[in-house]
Structure 1
Amino acid sequence: MHYHFRQVATLVWLLVCVLPSAALAKVPVFVSIFPQRYFVEQVGGEHVDVQVMVLPGASPTTYEPKSRQMAAIAKAKIYFSMGVPFEAVWLEKIVASNKSLRVVPMDRGIQKRAMASFHSHEEKEQHDGGRTISHNAGETIQHAIPDPHVWLSPPLVILQARTILVALQDIDPENGSAYETNFRTFILQVLELDKELRRLLKPHHGQRFMVFHPAWGYFADTYHLEQIPVEMEGKTPKPAQLKALITNARKHRIKVLFLQPQASAKIAEQVAKEIGAQVAWADPLALDWAENLRAVAEKFRQAMESAK
């Protein structure tokens, strides 16, 4: 009896000692935005501990890390960047706080599209070398600023998942086979999601939708749609620009305007009311990436169907 008791006591003691060390063995990872956390957790599984820099409701354009985040990042091994604007200011400071931190651009190897902006009438813009160009009325043009929203296209997420796999295997080779297995499982899920979205959106090829902030360009490109942004190069449109935008939206019979939680709803709701479109919430930074894309595609389909 005493022998069995000693065995149980020894086992309990071992569990108490081993479990905390197992938890500490997880690879500490930082990412910029929540969709990246989704991807890293899909590939890393139980072997990673992922923290997100841009907190819920905040904008990746203007975000400033909290002091507790800077303290936590001093212990991280990998930072997966994404090319979002706040990184241009903060990434160098983040690296300075942890000299051993490995920064891995998750968007590595992806040919980026330019950010879209609607131009309302004959507008002249200064470009490099003093060159000026004019834009036709009601034209959505591409600017030289790279569009960072590559996480909103499933085919591009496959490339990002490969980058995650290579980085995790390199820093934690002992769990390399587990990462490979997780990666393959995740890719199958992404391919299935892509197939589902193509089937859902195929009847609506060529259709346009409005967005307040032009975050959905890669999504639109992938599924043969076109986004028309309300923002003018990141700024709220002036009255004359807004009038032309509304005229253009009526011309193309746009029936849905996607608004993200990080943006102001006032202008978007005004535009939607003027053109008779639905306002639908679409958060490009949602954590549940797969379900979010399904929801956005379904909202678009419903808006198109109700307009018939």
Structure 2
Amino acid sequence: MRNYLVIFILFTTVLFASKQELTVTILPQKYFVQKIVKDKFNINVMIKPGSSPHNFEPKASQMKALSSSKIYFMIGEPSEKAWISRFKQNAKNTLFVDTTIGVEKIAMQEHTHHEDEHDKHDNHIDENGLDPHIWLDPISVKNQAKNIYEAVIKIDEKNSEFYKTNYNEFINELENLDKDIKKILTPYKDKAFMVFHPSWGYFAVRYDLEQISIEIEGKEPKPNELLKLIEDSKEHNIKIVFVSPQFSQKSAKTISQNIGASVVSIDPLNEDWQNNLLFVADEIAKSYRE
């Protein structure tokens, strides 16, 4: 029996190691890619769970995995752009695919109370001042899924029907998710929610909500700015303040205590992508029902 167990372990190890690799920048992309390729590829994620894109630096093991990847799926996140030239130098045989093609981008919400124009800088915004968080809107993800599917069939044409079936199923899932979120949030049209970093702009626009950010140029607000945010929160009748593991929670908790809003932790990089979006929708709706 022991010999059979050893053989099984060796077989599964070899099978796992023999799979070709794909690389993505963030965990939600892994979710999207796996919906289409299932278990035909291993997926290397550059920004690991619990890490922040804003201080990202790849490890040697990740660079090695990237160099052997068939495809790198780009998301247009600023930290990715900072490294992309080095990635391409390191992975000369890898196909680099821009999954943002076809996505209609929106301007990144700027929240500043500074008078000095030179201070108006946020390294979380792309070079055109556009919001990179396109993965937080199911309809934008439909475009990303199409780009992923078209790239995968280029490198594995013999399994194109398999990928096509998975792609179509994923598109149906995205459309149903969009309907479910609309059903949850339609009664709360034009309501506002607050979050430290304005990652949820596409989500807010899609579902007719208003996102109010706490950060000032990517930093904690100063005392006078915090007072202004508290006033803004009261004017907008904010019922919920979202915090996330990538950013400070100090200001969010101070604001919530002053306005009587609930504090809820969410992660824009959560790999359980679909349930994460439904959770955010449910929490916004619940905050206005209570």
Q: Matches of residues 9-158 of structure 1 in structure 2 within 5 Å? A: 23=16, 26-120=19-113, 123=115, 125=117, 145-158=129-142
Question: Is the CA contact (8 Å cut-off) linking 2:226 and 2:251 kept in structure 1?
Answer: no
Question: How big is each residue's C-alpha offset from its partner over 1:199-225, in whole Å with a ceiling of 9 and x where there is no partner?
Answer: 000000000100100000000000000
User: Given the superposition, is the C-alpha separation of residues 16 and 174 from structure 1 closer, same or farther in structure 2, using an over 3 Å criterion?
Assistant: farther
Question: Is the CA contact (8 Å cut-off) linking 2:112 and 2:217 kept in structure 1?
Answer: no
Number of the residue aligned with 2:275: 291
The alpha carbon displacement at 1:273 in A equals: 0.8
Kindly provide the amino acid, as one letter, of the partner of residue 31 in structure 1. Answer: V
1:217 aligns with 2:201: yes
Distance 2:208 2:108 in 1: 17
Kindly provide the amino acid, as one letter, of the partner of residue 204 in structure 2. Answer: A
The alpha carbon displacement at 1:88 in A equals: 2.2
Number of the residue aligned with 1:3: none
Kindly provide the amino acid, as one letter, of the partner of residue 233 in structure 1. Answer: E
Kindly provide the amino acid, as one letter, of the partner of residue 96 in structure 1. Answer: Q
1:244 aligns with 2:222: no
Question: Is the CA contact (8 Å cut-off) linking 1:209 and 1:226 kept in structure 2?
Answer: yes
1:192 aligns with 2:185: no
Question: How big is each residue's C-alpha offset from its partner over 1:229-275, in whole Å with a ceiling of 9 and x where there is no partner?
Answer: 00112122122211111101111110101111111111211111111
How much is the aligned-residue C-alpha RMSD, in angstroms? 2.3
The alpha carbon displacement at 1:276 in A equals: 1.2
Question: How big is each residue's C-alpha offset from its partner over 1:106-129, in whole Å with a ceiling of 9 and x where there is no partner?
Answer: 1112121121123448x46369xx
Question: Is the CA contact (8 Å cut-off) linking 1:254 and 1:277 kept in structure 2?
Answer: yes
Q: Which runs of 5+ in 1 are unaligned?
A: 1-14, 133-142
The alpha carbon displacement at 1:21 in A equals: 7.2
User: Given the superposition, is the C-alpha separation of residues 219 and 31 from structure 1 closer, same or farther in structure 2, using an over 3 Å criterion?
Assistant: same
Number of the residue aligned with 1:9: none
Kindly provide the amino acid, as one letter, of the partner of residue 176 in structure 2. Answer: E
Question: Is the CA contact (8 Å cut-off) linking 1:117 and 1:231 kept in structure 2?
Answer: no
Number of the residue aligned with 1:5: none
Number of the residue aligned with 2:188: 204
Question: How big is each residue's C-alpha offset from its partner over 1:45-66, in whole Å with a ceiling of 9 and x where there is no partner?
Answer: 1222111000111111220001
User: Given the superposition, is the C-alpha separation of residues 145 and 283 from structure 1 closer, same or farther in structure 2, using an over 3 Å criterion?
Assistant: same
1:254 aligns with 2:251: no
Distance 1:270 1:144 in 2: 33
Does the residue aligned with 1:56 lie in a helix, a strand or coil? Answer: coil
Distance 2:264 2:10 in 1: 51
Does the residue aligned with 1:72 lie in a helix, a strand or coil? Answer: helix
Number of the residue aligned with 2:3: none
Does the residue aligned with 1:253 lie in a helix, a strand or coil? Answer: coil
Question: Is the CA contact (8 Å cut-off) linking 1:258 and 1:281 kept in structure 2?
Answer: yes
Question: Is the CA contact (8 Å cut-off) linking 1:115 and 1:146 kept in structure 2?
Answer: yes
Based on CA coordinates, which of the two structures has the bigger radius of gyration? 1
Bigger share in strand? 1
Distance 1:145 1:271 in 2: 27
Number of the residue aligned with 1:182: 166
Question: Is the CA contact (8 Å cut-off) linking 1:77 and 1:100 kept in structure 2?
Answer: yes
Kindly provide the amino acid, as one letter, of the partner of residue 285 in structure 1. Answer: L
Distance 1:21 1:124 in 2: 59
Does the residue aligned with 1:79 lie in a helix, a strand or coil? Answer: strand
Report the TM-score, using the length of structure 2 for normalisation: 0.89
15-24 or 59-68: which moved more? 15-24
Distance 2:165 2:45 in 1: 24
The alpha carbon displacement at 1:29 in A equals: 0.5
Residues matched between the structures, number: 277
